[in-house]
Amino acid sequence: MAKKTEKKVVTVQEESKTDETTGLLQQILKTKPQALANDSVERKLRLLYEIQVIDSEIDNIRTLRGELPNEVRTLEDDVVGFQTRISNIQVEIKKAEGIISQRNLDIENYKAQIKKYEEQQKNVRNNREFESLAKEIEFQGLEIELSEKKIKEAKALIEEKKTLEDDAKKALEERKKDLVVKKQELEKIIANTEKEEQLLENKAAEYKQVIEPRLLNAYERLRKNARNGLAVVEVKRDACGGCFNKIPPQRQVDIKMSKRLIPCEYCGRILVDWGE
């Protein structure tokens, strides 16, 4: 029973913290940031934390899209890939059809040659000439057999390629249908969040214009290296709000005083704590 009660308390605390962050975000959106180059460390920390609140909300909006952007890109690549495959198959089919046409012409020429040699055999003067013409007739016959074999191979290739073409066309149509659906889903999400995201991006830009470049660079570097995009985190239940490692009591006192920027000794995130 005690464990269940503890979990319930934690949930309430987390919900309260979420409401507090939402309230702070609304306040931030109504406030114009002031340059703090000569202000206290506490004010600079507050400014960094407010930038973090804005960027985290932008991250949340983009998270709503989930893998949809990647899925759309993948489907677009698949569509291009299948179109290219179909085009290549059609080129191979035309090439095979060209071979068949050429071989049929060759066969007609070989038959014409055979007919000519057979006519010449009727007027030979000796066996030697007759045998020579017979060899030519035999050679032309072999050429006809070879051409017929090549035609048969080309026809088999065409049948194979047409099957592959049909499969690729079916797959292409499926990808196109999926792409339409995924694009519609993505466009719907973007349409629902576009204004809010733009507002937040504009506000973030305002904040980043007034903060010291050194602090901003440090903040951006931490955000880039953090998986959850958190560079500035609060101390929650005596632990870092980013990596959740425990923070020694004396270090917590230093963080509360806000006299200097104190990073988490485990994850490097900037720690802030202004009390409950």
Nearest CA to 232 out of 221, 15, 22, 27 is that of 221
For the chain, which residues make up each domain, given as ranges? Answer: 68-193
**pLDDT in the model for residue 16:** 43
Amino acid at site 205: A
Residue 85 phi, psi dihedral angles, 5° rounding: -60, -45
- CATH code matching the domain that covers 68-193, chosen among 2.60.40.2220, 3.40.109.10, 1.10.287.1490, 3.40.50.2300: 1.10.287.1490
DSSP track, 98-162 = HHHHHHHHHHHHHHHHHHHHHHHHTT-SSHHHHHHHHHHHHHHHHHHHHHHHHHHHHHHHHHHHH
Could you read off the pLDDT of 86-142 as tens digits, one per residue? Answer: 999 999 999 999 999 999 999 999 999 999 999 999 888 889 999 999 999 999 999
**pLDDT in the model for residue 14:** 41
Q: Are strands 232-236 and 270-272 parallel, antiparallel or unpaired?
A: parallel
The helix (H) or strand (E) run that includes residue 232 is strand 232-236
**pLDDT in the model for residue 18:** 54
**pLDDT in the model for residue 35:** 54
**pLDDT in the model for residue 37:** 47
49/55 Cα distance (integer angstroms): 10
Are 215 and 48 in contact by the 8 Å Cβ rule? The answer is yes
Q: Which residues of the chain have pLDDT under 50?
A: 1-17, 37
Dihedral sign for Cα 116, 118, 123, 129, please. Answer: positive
**pLDDT in the model for residue 2:** 39
**pLDDT in the model for residue 12:** 35
**pLDDT in the model for residue 13:** 37
**pLDDT in the model for residue 275:** 62
**pLDDT in the model for residue 38:** 55
In Å, how far are 101, 103, 131, 150 from 114, measured between CA atoms? 20, 16, 14, 20
